[in-house]
Structure 1
Amino acid sequence: MYYDVAEYTAHFGAVKIDYTPYQYFSGLSLGLLLAALGSLVLAVIFGLIVFGLRGPYFAIGTLGVAISAGELVGAWDYVGGGGGITMPTYPGDPDDRAMFFYALCFTSAIITFIFLKWLYSTRFQLALNAIRDDEEKAEAMGIHTNRYKTIAWSFAAFFLGISGGIFGNMTGFIEPLEVAFPTVTFGIFMVLMVLLGGKGTLWGPIIGAVLFHVIKEITWIYLLGWQWVALGALII
C-alpha cells in the first residue's frame, strides 16, 4: 500500500510547484521527499494499530487497510478519483527518459543497500532477529517487540515510498486499484524475490530480484498464456 500511496504523494509534490520544463526535477525531488515521509508517517500510524494483531489476523488487518485506502483514493476528486491521475511529463529527450529513471532507481537501490548494511551492524538488527526467531521469547527477554516492528516497518515504508514515487513518475499514470490491491502485483512479487534469494540476508533480495525477473522473462517468452500459472507454481 505504501508503495502505491507514494505514487499519489509524489504527484502532489510535483503539481504543487508551478514548474516549467526546467523545474520538473525540482518538483520530482519534492514529490519523492513527500512520498517517502508520507509513507513513513502512515507506517507509524498503522503500525501502532495492526501490530497488536498476529498471524492471520495481521494479514487480514493489513489487507483491510489497503482496501480502505483504495476506496478513499477512488472517492477523492482532488487526486483524480476513480479515473486515476496523470503524472507530469518528462521534459527532456524521450530517448533519455528511460536512462534517467534507470539511474534514479539504481542510485536509490545503492543508498538503500548502504543503509541496510549499516543497520545490520547495529543492535537493532539483533533485536529484529530475535523477534523473527521467537517473538514470545524476545518479549520475555525485555525486547519491546511492537516498537521494534513498527520502526522496521517505517524504515521499509520510507524506502518503498521513494520507489513508489519513482515508479509513478516513470509509468505516468496511477489508479486507485493499485492502492486497494497492491498484493496482486508488487506485494507478491517483492515477497517472492526475498524468498528466492533467501530471507534474513543482505544480498538475498538482490539475488532474488535478478532470479525473479529472469524467470519472469523466460515464462513470458516460452510459456505465453501460462506465464501467471508458472509464476504461481513458483510461489507455491
Structure 2
Amino acid sequence: MIENILNRVQRIPEPALLVGLGLLSLAAPFILPGLATQLAFLWLMVVLAQTWDVLGGQMGYNSFGNVVFFGIGCYACAVIQRDSGLPYYEALALGLCVGGIVAMLSGLVFGAALLGIRGHYFAIATLGLGIAAGEIAAGWDYVGAGSGMAMPLYPGGLGQRELFFYFVMFAIAASCFLTLRWLYATRFGLAMNAIRDDEDKAEATGLRTTSIKTVAWAISALFIGLAGGVTGNMLGFIDPRDVAFSGATFGVWMVLMAILGGKGTLWGPVIGALIFHITKELFWTYLLGWQRVALGVLIVLIVLFFPQGIMGWIAARRAQAAGERA
C-alpha cells in the first residue's frame, strides 16, 4: 500500500507536489484545530530527521550528538527572552536568531574538533558530547541548573498560541527542506556524497573533506537551533536532561526517523518523520502505560526490517521488477 501511494506521488511533478503540500500544510491547523500542537511537533520531527541526515545519510557520519545544537538553541533563545527586556514577539525573534547562530557556530567548533575522527569513534565522541552538555546545563545556575527554565507566557488569546507556533515551526521546516534541496543539487552536495562513497579518494582528488563536513554540520545545526528555540516556547519549560539535551528521546528519534524513511535521500527523512510521529502519538493515545515498551519494539523493528528505509526498499523492489521484466 505504501509503495503504491509513493509511486503515485512520485509521478507528480515536484514543483506541483511542493505547492500542494504547502497549501495543505497551511490549511491543516484550521482543518484540525484540536491537533495544531501535534502538527507543530510533526514539523519539529521533520526538521530533526532532515538535519541528522545531512551528516548521517548524505555523508555517512552517524552522529548521536545533534541534540547538543537543539539544547543550545533552547537555552540561547530562553536567555534572550528572559534578559533582553523586549516585548514578547521581538524577544522571541531575537532569541531564535541568536539561538540559530550560536548553534551554527557551535557546529563549526565541534566539527573542527571532532570531524577528523571517523567511523565508530566519531559516533561515540558525539554521544559523549550530548551527555556532557546535559550535565553542564544541569549544574549551571545561570540557566536554572537542574530546576530548568520557565519560558515567558504567550501574550495572545486562547487558541492563538497553538496556531502561532505551528506556523513558526512550519516555516522553519519548509526553509530547512528547501535549503537542503538546493544544497544537495550543488557541487557541495556532490562533494558530500563523494565523502560518503570513499573519503580517501575524495581527499586524493583535492577535496578538503574536514572543512566540507564541518560546514555541512554547521548548516544542519542552524536549523536544529531554530527548532530548539521554538520547542522550548511550545513546551513552556526547559529541562536540561528531559528536553534540551534529551538524547534518549529527540537524540534517538532523529536517527530512527531518517533510517525509517531512507538515509541519504531528500524525501526519506520527511516520510520517516511523518510515519514515526503518527505511530508515536497513537502509542501515547491507545497504549498509555505501555507506550514506551511499544516504542522500543518499534525501534527494534525499524532497525531489523528497514535498514535501508522505505525509500531504499522501494528502490530495491523497482530494481527487482525491472530485472524480471528484462
* Range moving further from structure 2, 193-202 or 177-186: 177-186
Range 57-66 or range 99-108, more displaced: 57-66
- Which residue pairs with 2:44 in the alignment? none
Q: TM-score, normalised by structure 1?
A: 0.92
Normalization by structure 2: what TM-score? 0.68
Aligned-pair identity (%)? 51
Alignment match of 2:123 (pick from 44, 56, 59): 59
Residue 174 to residue 156, structure 1, CA distance change in 2 (3 Å): same
SS at match of 1:49: helix
Which amino acid in structure 2 is aligned with residue 3 of structure 1? F
Q: Do the aligned partners of 1:36 and 1:158 also contact (CA within 8 Å) in 2?
A: yes
Q: Is there any run of 5+ residues in structure 1 with no aligned partner, and where?
A: none
Rate the CA distance shift 1:179–1:192 in 2: closer, same or farther, 3 A.
same
1:230 aligned residue (283, 294, 319): 294
1:13 aligns with 2:80: yes
CA deviations over 1:102-133 (Å, ceiling 9, x no partner):
01111111111111121122100001111112
Q: Tell me the equivalent position of 1:206.
A: 270
**Amino acid paired to 2:185:** S
Match of 2:303 in 1: none
Aligned length: 233
**CA deviation after TM superposition for structure 1 residue 188, in Å:** 1.1
Alignment correspondent of 1:187: 251
Kindly indicate whether the alpha-carbon contact (under 8 Å) linking 1:193 and 1:209 is maintained by their aligned counterparts in 2: yes
Residue 44 (str. 1) matches residue 108 (str. 2): yes
Report Cα offsets for 1:130-167 as digits up to 9, x if no partner. 11122222222222211111111000000000000000
CA distance in 2, matches of 1:223, 1:80: 34
Cα distance, 1:205 vs structure 2: 1.3
Q: Which amino acid aligns with 2:127?
A: L
> What is aligned with 1:216?
280
Residue number among 83, 91, 103 corresponding to 2:155 in the alignment: 91
Q: Does the alignment pair 1:2 with 2:69?
A: yes
Which is further off, 219-228 or 145-154? 219-228
Structure 1 stretch 216-225 or stretch 81-90: which is displaced more? 216-225
Work out whether residues 17 and 27 of structure 1, in 8 Å CA contact, stay in contact via their aligned partners in 2.
yes
- Report the residue type matching 2:175 in the other structure: I
1:128 to 192, 197, 200: 192
Separation in 2, partners of 1:17, 1:160: 22
Instruction: For residue 201 of structure 1, give the secondary structure of its aligned residue in structure 2.
Output: coil
Corresponding residue SS for 1:136: helix
User: Contact 1:67–1:180 at 8 Å: present in 2 too?
Assistant: no
Q: 2:164 aligns with which of 100, 103, 107?
A: 100
- CA distance 1:166–1:152, shift in 2 (3 Å): same
Gap change, CA 1:182 and 1:115, over 3 Å in 2:
same
Distance in 1 between residues matched to 2:116 and 2:101, nearest whole Å? 23
Distance verdict in 2 for CA 1:181–1:37, change over 3 Å: closer
User: Structure 1 residue 95: deviation in Å?
Assistant: 1.5
CA spacing shift, 1:57–1:179, aligned 2, 3 Å: farther
Give the Å deviation of 1:222.
Answer: 4.2
TM superposition shift of 1:199:
1.4
Which of these residues, 141, 144, 161, is aligned with residue 208 of structure 2?
A: 144
Gaps of 5+ in 2: 1-67, 301-326
The 5 Å alignment of 1:12-31 reads 12-19=79-86, 23-31=87-95
